[in-house]
């Protein structure tokens, strides 16, 4: 039975992805931080990890790129789900009873427009959406609402008082599946990290290589290199139809870049 590490607890969005991607015959390891999740994969306590990496409203979860890189983990898959946030409370509680709304920072950000309608309610950031729901029911907290999934409301016995409160209804989150080992399956998408000199056109030359070898750039993200002020690494995702084209492009980028690292090669799931 595969051991799957998730950020969050039963009823969280990571839990949903784990079950949809791997099926029900898994052992789920729950962690309340991405650092703990990544460490569990790096040390072998979890065979795979599920990690949110970007959202169509809130953007990239930048620290997670650094976690994958620093621990030398590999992206071996990806999975997209539509995130539908519900405002839930202890049974019988009404919106006028609330002093706080608590959830993961990304969930609060994705529901920003709705929450602005209630300026007297204080927003509280927590580590997991479903864990807030669990705590509210367990401690019979009546002045706080959680933002979490329908499944979390059902599991932890809360009432949903407002449904689908995310700012944009088509609110997708991309999750990556991480492992200590590279995928050995036939794949058509890769994630790379590289750094470049400050020479004029250095990034353009890399992008030209991608174009010349029919690689489609689907994501580019820059992160500071903390040891060198004002210098950046680039994290990119690219899709391809021919693995030989990818391998040739990788060799040429390696010649152009100051450093180059393959973060993973996996099956493209982008719709």
Sort residue 61 into left (φ over 0), alpha (ψ -120 to 50) or beta. beta
Q: How many domains does the chain have?
A: 3
Q: Are 67 and 175 within one domain? A: yes
271 pLDDT tier (thresholds 50, 70, 90):
low
- What is the residue range of 251's domain? 189-264
pLDDT digits (tens, 9 = 90+) for 62-115: 899 999 999 999 999 999 999 999 999 999 999 999 999 999 999 999 999 999
pTM of the predicted model as reported, rounded to 2 decimal places? 0.89
Q: Are 195 and 152 within one domain? A: no
Q: Are 21 and 123 within one domain? A: no
pLDDT at 258 over 80: yes
pLDDT at 58: 84
> Residue 194 maps to which CATH number?
3.30.70.260
pLDDT at 13 over 80: yes
Residue 25 domain flag: yes
C-alpha separations of 200 from 118, 197, 205 in Å: 49, 9, 10
Residue 270 domain flag: no
Q: Are 132 and 237 within one domain? A: no
> Residue 138 maps to which CATH number?
3.40.190.10
229 pLDDT tier (thresholds 50, 70, 90):
confident
pLDDT digits (tens, 9 = 90+) for 148-182: 999 999 999 999 999 999 999 888 999 999 999 98
């Amino acid at each position: 039975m595969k051991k799957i590490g998730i950020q969050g607890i039963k009823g969280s969005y990571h839990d949903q992805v784990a079950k949809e991607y791997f099926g029900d015959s898994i052992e789920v390891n729950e962690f309340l931080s991405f650092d703990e999740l990544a460490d569990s994969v790096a040390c072998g306590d979890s065979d795979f990890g599920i990690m949110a990496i970007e959202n169509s409203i809130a953007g990239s979860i930048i620290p997670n790129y650094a976690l994958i890189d620093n621990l030398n983990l590999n992206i071996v898959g990806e999975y997209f789900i539509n995130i539908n946030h519900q405002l839930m409370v202890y049974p019988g509680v009404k919106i006028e009873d609330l002093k706080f709304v608590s959830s993961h920072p990304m969930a609060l950000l994705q529901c920003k427009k709705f929450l602005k309608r209630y300026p007297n309610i204080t927003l509280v950031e927590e580590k997991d959406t479903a864990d807030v729901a669990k705590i509210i029911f367990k401690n019979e907290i009546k002045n706080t609402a959680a933002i979490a999934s329908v499944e979390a409301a059902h599991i932890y016995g809360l009432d949903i008082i407002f449904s689908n409160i995310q700012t944009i209804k088509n609110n997708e989150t991309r999750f990556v599946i991480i492992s200590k080992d590279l995928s050995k399956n036939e794949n058509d998408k890769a994630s790379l990290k590289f750094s470049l000199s400050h020479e004029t056109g250095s990034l353009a030359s890399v992008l030209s290589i991608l174009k010349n070898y029919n690689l489609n750039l689907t994501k580019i993200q820059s992160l500071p290199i903390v040891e060198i002020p004002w210098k950046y690494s680039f994290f990119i995702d690219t899709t391809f139809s021919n693995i030989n084209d990818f391998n040739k492009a990788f060799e040429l980028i390696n010649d152009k870049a100051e450093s180059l690292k393959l973060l993973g090669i996996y099956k493209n799931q982008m719709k």
